[in-house]
Amino acid sequence: MKHIEVEWVDANILHGWQASLEDCDLAESKESGYLIHEDKEKIIIARGYSRHGLYNSPMAIPRGCIKSIKELRSR
């Protein structure tokens, strides 16, 4: 399986009353994991997987939010 690093933008929220909207911007996120699945609308990565077909912490990321995908080298 490919080990990748994904950069994407996500929703962001400020809690409570705000005098300014200056800090209300999109959250820039970065995560690494194993590419489990990809299709036209999303990719799914997981932090780990086992030989028994189990995945640790799978995450779906919408393709429209992805800024970059970089394959990481195996050691």
pLDDT tens per residue, range 42-75: 999 999 999 999 999 999 999 999 999 999 987 6
Q: What is the pLDDT of residue 16?
A: 92
Domains present along the chain, CATH in parentheses: 3-71 (2.30.30)
Global confidence as pTM: 0.85
pLDDT tens per residue, range 2-33: 999 999 999 999 999 999 988 889 999 999 99
Of the candidates 29, 31, 63, 35, the one whose C-alpha atom is nearest the C-alpha of residue 49 is: 35
Of the candidates 18, 14, 17, 16, the one whose C-alpha atom is nearest the C-alpha of residue 27 is: 14
